[in-house]
Amino acid sequence: MPGIGDIFRRLTRRSQASEPEQAETFEARTDVTPPDPPDLAPPEPLAWEHEDAAPELASTSELEDLRFSSPEEPASSQAAFDDQPPRETLISAPLEPQVSFAPDGRDGSNVGVLDPPFVDIGDDVLVDDPLLLVCPYCGTEGQRVGARCANERCNRVIVRLPPWAQHRRHSWLTRRLSWRRIVAACVVALLIVFVIWINYPFAPDPVVLFKKTQTQLTIDAGPGSWTGVGRDLRHSRRVDIGPPPPSGQMRYWNFDVPGDPLLSEPVAQDTHVYVGSSEGMYALSHADLSFIEKWEGDTPGRITAGASVVGLYLFFGSTDHTVSSWNAFDGQVRWSFPTADTVETAPVVSDGLVYISSGESWIYALDAHNGVLIWKKQLDSNASDAATIHDGKLFIGDEKGVFYILSARTGQEWFRFRTPRAISGSPVVSEDGERAYFSAGGQLYAVEATRREIPGLYQFKQLWAQLWLWQVPGVPRPKGQQGGLWRFTPENPLQGIKSSPTLVDDAGGGTLYVGGHDNNVYALNAITGDLLWTFQTENAVWASLLAIKDHLIVGDESGFLYSLDRLTGVENWRMNLGSAIMIPPVVSNGLLIVRTADGNVYGIE
């Protein structure tokens, strides 16, 4: 389709071609004396014109000159355009009507024609620019009006715009904006938002790096002490050096600890044994399990979990929304820290930090010296038990079935492993730090302890699995969750494993020992998950097991305490304590300390 410029040029050529024909017609009539022009009366004043502003008519001689001008020198349209005064002169000149004479086309007489005056209607009037100009869309120079832009990427029709539109079109921003660029920018912005949203849980708080601890306290994992739950930071629950395993002889007992024992695991250091209850925290003598004198152990809240003792410091949490640090020898308060909700898990102390969780899904890292908050993180649900620390990583599970690997220094999340049911107990980490073990939904899981989360991979596999379940053609079966090694499932998972496993690292890669609610004790290969042997108990096994050299100590819900051969599962001895054993047994300086559900504490050699 021709543009406006093409139409304008065609009309100009036609007007130039008709001028020679008119010149020949006038030349052929030169022998005829033209009649005198009639006397023309001045035109009536126009309605928009004042009487004093009436125009003066041209004289007869001027009309003759216009009428009998030589046809041999016709003025071209370009010359006529060049002879016109500039636009500024036309605008400043008075508005006077112009009179011209032209043949009427019938008898050759001339008729006076009143030319309309020039009227300025503002800046929106199109100014006659040269035919060559700059493309207002892409900026390419030397483009012709009415034609398409020579730039192949632009290829738009060049038109003249009003000055205000030309100014906006030539702005720096509009010259660089296009729908393609706007769409591309929106897509990039959405990708950036998506990446930030996926990586937000794994981003560390840079402020934490500037917070320094004032001590390097760490629980002691020596052979003669049990200073924290699980004995060491890996929660292996294994003692391989020191006195021989107990032979099953009852030596000491204490039936007078106030309150209910709940699930407070005993801890021991040197000459003291510390137990918590619904009434407070109490210190017993390691020699005969009697109460330590001058010890005031009453607390406002209940002590539902174990404590940690390091040197002069005793750390524990209570249901009155408080984490406390006491003097380990006289029970005097050193500091306390308020939490968001009740504290029902045991603290873990490593490299000067106290790690403990509370309700509302919070986990805290406090300075062991003064209780100052270093960092905190909110999980998807409440923590299932105490955290495990190894090689700068923190391992913990929650009641929603999510297993976490965090940075022990900053709380930055590194990995998640999802299970369909709640996690029970604390995770256990291998000595080389390559594998982590935990129980969830009656099953025992083994995952990679060095794995890092790939943002968005789990969500992608969820979509992949859904498409596979819908039997979409061409969609293969999705692979398992990243980081998973193996899973052990008892015959009846609903009555399966509900406690943390016990790990013994040896030359064969390690052995896991765990009890279940199906009245069985299982020994598994820690590398492959293969079953090595089983032992049947009188009732369900709630508490974690204890490995002392080549013996395995097991307690069940009927109150029976067993000693098994760790390699074969053969029973060495058993004894009945008269109440359910729901709290894991511990050993300190060769003394086996067992606490039953009725609150009694026993010392067995």
What's residue 37's pLDDT? 52
Q: Which of 62, 82, 113 is where one domain is finished?
A: 113
What's residue 270's pLDDT? 82
DSSP H or E run through 512: strand 511-515
Sign of the CA dihedral running 238, 503, 500, 312? positive
* Least reliable range by pLDDT among 34-48, 303-317, 336-350, 477-491: 34-48
Answer yes or no: do 172 and 221 share one domain.
Answer: no
Using the predicted structure, report yes or no on whether residue 600 has a pLDDT greater than 70: yes
Sign of the CA dihedral running 109, 112, 113, 118? positive
What's the distance, CA 411 to chain centroid?
A: 15
What's residue 76's pLDDT? 46
> Could you give the CA distance from residue 105 to residue 107 in angstroms, rounded to a whole number?
6
Using the predicted structure, report yes or no on whether residue 458 has a pLDDT greater than 50: yes
Domain contains 126: no
Contacts of 586 (CB under 8 A, 6+ apart): 226, 231, 265, 266, 267, 268, 546, 592, 593
More confident site: 80 or 509: 509
What's the distance, CA 111 to chain centroid?
A: 86
Range among 133-137, 285-289, 577-581 rated most confident: 577-581
Using the predicted structure, report yes or no on whether residue 513 has a pLDDT greater than 60: yes
Using the predicted structure, report yes or no on whether residue 207 has a pLDDT greater than 90: no
8-41 burial by CB neighbour count: b if 16+ within 10 A, else e? ebeeeeeeeeeeeeebeeeeeeeeeeeeeeeeee
Using the predicted structure, report yes or no on whether residue 59 has a pLDDT greater than 90: no
> Could you give the CA distance from residue 122 to residue 115 in angstroms, rounded to a whole number?
21
Looking at the DSSP assignment, which residues form a beta bridge with residue 393? 390, 407
pLDDT in tens, 345-404: 999 999 999 999 999 999 999 999 999 999 999 999 999 999 999 999 999 999 999 999
Looking at the DSSP assignment, which residues form a beta bridge with residue 487? 445
Supply φ then ψ for residue 558, to 5 degrees.
-85, -5
Alpha-carbon torsion, ordered 509, 510, 515, 518, to 10 deg: 20
255: CATH: 2.130.10.10
Mean pLDDT, rounded, for 8-12: 71
Contact yes or no for 487/446 (Cβ under 8 A): yes
Using the predicted structure, report yes or no on whether residue 329 has a pLDDT greater than 90: no
Mean pLDDT, rounded, for 264-292: 89
Helix (H, G, I), strand (E, B) or coil at 60: helix
Q: What percent of the chain has pLDDT over 90?
A: 43
Alpha carbon of 581 to those of 262, 377, 386, 488: distances in Å?
11, 33, 20, 25
Domain contains 293: yes
What's residue 169's pLDDT? 47
Average pLDDT, the chain: 80
pLDDT in tens, 178-193: 788 888 999 999 999 8
Contacts of 140 (CB under 8 A, 6+ apart): 134, 149, 150, 151, 154
Domain contains 118: no
Domain contains 189: no
What's residue 159's pLDDT? 78
Using the predicted structure, report yes or no on whether residue 1 has a pLDDT greater than 80: no
> If pLDDT is split at 50, 70 and 90, which confidence band does 118 have?
very low
Answer yes or no: do 240 and 307 share one domain.
Answer: yes
Q: Which of 69, 85, 113 is where one domain is finished?
A: 113
Answer yes or no: do 149 and 239 share one domain.
Answer: no
Give 189: exposed, middle or buried? Use CB within 10 Å, 0-12, 13-18, 19+.
Answer: exposed
Domain contains 309: yes
Answer yes or no: do 364 and 232 share one domain.
Answer: yes
Answer yes or no: do 104 and 136 share one domain.
Answer: no
What's residue 55's pLDDT? 47
Domain contains 127: no
DSSP string, 464-490: HHHHHHTT-TT-PPPP--TTEEEEE--
Domain contains 120: no
What's the distance, CA 555 to chain centroid?
A: 45
Answer yes or no: do 293 and 355 share one domain.
Answer: yes
> If pLDDT is split at 50, 70 and 90, which confidence band does 342 have?
very high
Cβ neighbours of 601 (radius 10 Å): 22
Q: What percent of the chain has pLDDT over 70?
A: 75
> Could you give the CA distance from residue 267 to residue 160 in angstroms, rounded to a whole number?
90
Whose tokens are 């086309």? That residue is: 105
Answer yes or no: do 221 and 106 share one domain.
Answer: no
pLDDT in tens, 61-100: 444 444 444 444 444 444 444 555 554 444 444 444 444 4
Contact yes or no for 527/446 (Cβ under 8 A): no
Using the predicted structure, report yes or no on whether residue 208 has a pLDDT greater than 50: yes
Answer yes or no: do 360 and 496 share one domain.
Answer: yes
DSSP string, 384-431: SS--EEETTEEEEEBTTSEEEEEETTT--EEEEEE-SS-EEEEEEE-T
Supply φ then ψ for residue 294, to 5 degrees.
60, 40
Looking at the DSSP assignment, which residues form a beta bridge with residue 492? none
> If pLDDT is split at 50, 70 and 90, which confidence band does 151 have?
confident
Q: What is the pTM of this model?
A: 0.68
> If pLDDT is split at 50, 70 and 90, which confidence band does 158 have?
confident
| Count: domains in the chain | 3
Answer yes or no: do 61 and 104 share one domain.
Answer: yes
Domain contains 55: yes
Mean pLDDT, rounded, for 536-565: 94
Answer yes or no: do 21 and 136 share one domain.
Answer: no
Helix (H, G, I), strand (E, B) or coil at 95: coil
Contact yes or no for 221/232 (Cβ under 8 A): yes
* Least reliable range by pLDDT among 56-70, 443-457, 510-524: 56-70
> If pLDDT is split at 50, 70 and 90, which confidence band does 122 have?
very low
> Could you give the CA distance from residue 272 to residue 589 in angstroms, rounded to a whole number?
11
Answer yes or no: do 400 and 534 share one domain.
Answer: yes
Answer yes or no: do 408 and 544 share one domain.
Answer: yes
Domain that holds residue 148: 132-176
